[in-house]
């Protein structure tokens, strides 16, 4: 802002407040809905103020779910989501950082080929190869288990590129000094490269955790056993009920629960998250 234009400032605030309202409104409505009892919707008008059934609704969803609509309790599903999200994040980071290390700090035959193979995964999101990937996973007997949920998702070109780009900015002399100091490649990796990469790893972890938690299509097709449902895909069964009107207060409680962990993570780590986002996509 160069000159002082109070009207424009006012307008800017207005726009921002409007934006925030639009962004927050659906969640507010959901939260309100989740706090009401089952009969508060029958009148046809949705209330705008919190009800008194918060504890009751949330604990019901967490523990027993809505067995009438075939929806399992949210609690176990959230644990599955947690395992999947952490597994995907850790898995992606681990194999990507090792690959980036290999590509940057070594020269070997087929290095370029390996690089392009990893690059290609950018162009193959799971939605595009869904049936054959399912078949492979099924053939390997990995349906309905955590391995099947996690492992097929952990080849990530973005993470590899990020680490590669970061490693390229690490001064050459650091590695040379370490070599003179008697450090072999893995020692160098552990003692020097890894500590320097901590910020990148943390930022990436946040993004990948959110990505892993929000996986929808993949858990949908490879889990038929309810005990392996993740929460984001499990919710669908409650909401899109064909014949009866879903029990919205419980559905909304489930929705809030399902959306909460990743939102908390990025709000708490906002700085790190923003840095990671802008860095990975550059």
Partner 1 sequence: MATINIIDVKKNYGAVPAVKGINLSVADGELIVLVGPSGCGKSTLLRMVAGLETISEGDVEIAGRNVNKAEPADRDIAMVFQNYALYPHMTVRGNLEYGLKNRGTERAEINRRVAEAAEILEIGPMLDRKPRELSGGQRQRVAMGRAIVREPAAFLFDEPLSNLDAKLRVQMRVEIRRLQRRLKTTSIYVTHDQLEAMTLADRLVVMNGGLVEQVGTPVAVYDRPASLFVASFIGSPPMNLVPVDVVRAADSAGTLVLPAGTDMVGLRPDALLVIKPVEPTVRLNATVELLEPIGGESHLHVRLGKSQRTVVLTVPGRPDFAENANIDVFARVDAMHPFNSDTGKRTD
Partner 2 sequence: MQTKRTVFPNKLLPYLLIAPQIFVTVVFFLWPAATAFWQSFLRQDAFGFKTNFVWFENYRRLFADPIYINAFGHTLIFAILVTVLSTAIALLLAAAAMRVLRTSRIYSTLLIWPYAVAPAIAGILWWFMFNPSIGIVAYMLRAMGVSWNHLINPDDAMTLIVIAATWKQISYNFLFFLAALQSVPRSLQEAGAIDGAGPVKRFWTIVFPLISPTTFYLIVINIVYAMFDTFGIVHATTQGGPARATEILVYKVYFDGFIGLNLGSSAAQSVILMVIVVALTAVQFRFIERRVQY
Q: What is the rounded CA–CA span in Å between residue 65 and residue 51? A: 20
Q: From the list partner 1, partner 2, none, which binds 191 (C-beta under 5 to 8 Å, kind-based)?
A: partner 1
Map tokens 């309810």 to a residue. 226
> Could you say whether residue 55 binds partner 2 (CB under 8 A)?
no
DSSP 109: T
> Could you say whether residue 203 binds partner 2 (CB under 8 A)?
no
Please state the φ and ψ torsions of residue 66, each to the nearest 5 degrees: -115, 85
Q: From the list partner 2, partner 1, none, which binds 178 (C-beta under 5 to 8 Å, kind-based)?
A: partner 1
DSSP three-state, residue 239? helix
Q: What is the chain's Cα-based Rg?
A: 24
Q: From the list partner 2, partner 1, none, which binds 192 (C-beta under 5 to 8 Å, kind-based)?
A: partner 1
Binding to partner 1, residues 182-241 (CB under 8 A): 182-183, 187, 191-192, 195-196
Q: Are 78 and 256 in contact (CB under 8 A)?
A: no
In the bound complex, what is the minimum distance in angstroms from residue 166's beta carbon to partner 1? Answer: 14
In the bound complex, what is the minimum distance in angstroms from residue 117's beta carbon to partner 2? Answer: 6
Q: Burial, 232: exposed, middle or buried (Cβ in 10 Å; 0-12, 13-18, 19+)?
A: buried
Please state the φ and ψ torsions of residue 24, each to the nearest 5 degrees: -85, -25
> Could you say whether residue 20 binds partner 1 (CB under 8 A)?
no
Query: Site for partner 1 (CB under 8 A): which residue of 181, 224, 268, 274?
Result: 181
Q: What is the rounded CA–CA span in Å between residue 216 and residue 14? A: 36
Binding to partner 2, residues 75-134 (CB under 8 A): 94-96, 98-99, 101-108, 111-112, 114-115, 117-118, 120-125, 127-134
> Could you say whether residue 214 binds partner 2 (CB under 8 A)?
yes
Binding site for partner 1 (CB under 8 A): 171, 173-174, 176-183, 187, 191-192, 195-196
């Amino acid at each position: 802002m160069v000159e002082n234009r109070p009207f424009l400032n006012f307008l800017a605030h207005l726009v921002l407040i409007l934006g925030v309202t639009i962004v927050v409104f659906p969640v507010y409505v959901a939260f309100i809905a989740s706090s009401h009892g089952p009969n508060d919707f029958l009148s046809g008008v949705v209330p705008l103020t919190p009800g008194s059934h918060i504890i009751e609704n949330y604990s019901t969803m967490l523990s027993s779910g809505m067995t009438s609509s075939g929806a399992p309790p949210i609690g176990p599903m959230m644990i599955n989501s947690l395992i999947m999200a952490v597994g995907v994040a850790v898995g992606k980071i681990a194999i990507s950082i090792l690959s980036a290390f290999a590509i940057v700090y070594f020269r070997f035959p087929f290095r370029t080929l390996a690089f392009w193979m990893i690059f290609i995964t950018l162009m193959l999101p799971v939605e595009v190869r869904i049936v054959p990937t399912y078949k492979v996973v099924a053939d390997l007997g990995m349906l309905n288990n955590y391995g099947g949920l996690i492992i097929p998702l952990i080849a990530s070109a973005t993470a590899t590129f990020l680490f590669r780009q970061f490693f390229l900015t690490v001064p050459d002399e650091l590695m040379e000094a370490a070599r003179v100091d008697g450090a072999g490649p893995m020692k160098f990796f552990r003692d020097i490269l890894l500590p320097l990469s901590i910020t990148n790893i943390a930022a990436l972890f946040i993004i990948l955790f959110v990505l892993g938690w929000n996986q929808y299509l993949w858990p949908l097709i490879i889990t038929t056993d309810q005990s392996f449902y993740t929460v984001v895909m499990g919710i669908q069964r409650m909401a899109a009920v064909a014949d009866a009107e879903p029990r919205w207060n419980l559905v909304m409680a489930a929705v809030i629960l399902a959306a909460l962990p990743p939102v908390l993570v990025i709000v708490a780590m906002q700085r790190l998250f923003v840095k990671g986002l802008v860095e990975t996509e550059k």
